Amino acid sequence: MDTKLLALDYPVLNIFWTMLELFLWVLWFFLLFKIITDIFRSHDLGGWGKAGWLLVVIILPLIGVLAYLIARGAGMGKRDVEQAQQAEAAFKAYVRDAAAGTPPAGGAPGGRSHVDDLARLADLKDRGAISDEEYQKAKDRLLV
């Protein structure tokens, strides 16, 4: 039996090709899942169109993925941007609602929040109704 190590029997170029094949395989799976997600997210495709593209992508994987990227690749980017904008708008609305809906620590009368009170103070300061010193004192009282 040969006492050579297995690593010595596997040339460096073969290691490179194996790594490249693995990378391309993972990249193809990533594209496949991205395309399947895009098919279901697309609003301009009807049910039969989605079913057709899904069959093409699953039955003829390499050709289906390439055909989808050629035919609908530009729309994928637009749908990604649209989804990101919707997620950002939803997050901002959630933060706005959470900030306005929290009860104030000091129990401001009338159910107002600190955010409302600070906004009113800033407005009074901007209009010149109160000085900077009065603004700072009132703000300190609200934040205590």
For residue range 42-99, what is the model confidence (pLDDT) as tens digits?
888 889 999 999 999 999 988 999 999 899 888 888 888 988 999 998 888 888 887 7
Residues 41 and 91 in one domain: yes
Q: What span, in angstroms and rounded, lies between the C-alpha atoms of 24 and 32?
A: 12
Number of domains in the chain: 2
Residues 89 and 108 in one domain: no
The answer to whether the CB of 67 falls within 8 A of the CB of 31 is: no
pLDDT of residue 70: 92
Three-state SS at 25: helix
- What is the residue type of 16? F
Residues 92 and 122 in one domain: no
134 token code pair:
């009065």
pLDDT of residue 43: 85
- What is the residue type of 46? G
Q: Residue 104: pLDDT above 50? A: no
Average pLDDT, the chain: 82
Residues 8 and 64 in one domain: yes
Q: Find the domain containing 20 and state its range.
A: 1-101
Residues 89 and 59 in one domain: yes
Cα of first residue to Cα of last residue in the chain, in angstroms, is 82
41 token code pair:
């997210």
Q: Residue 141: pLDDT above 90? A: no
The answer to whether the CB of 40 falls within 8 A of the CB of 72 is: no
Q: What span, in angstroms and rounded, lies between the C-alpha atoms of 52 and 57?
A: 9
Residues 125 and 75 in one domain: no
pLDDT of residue 93: 85
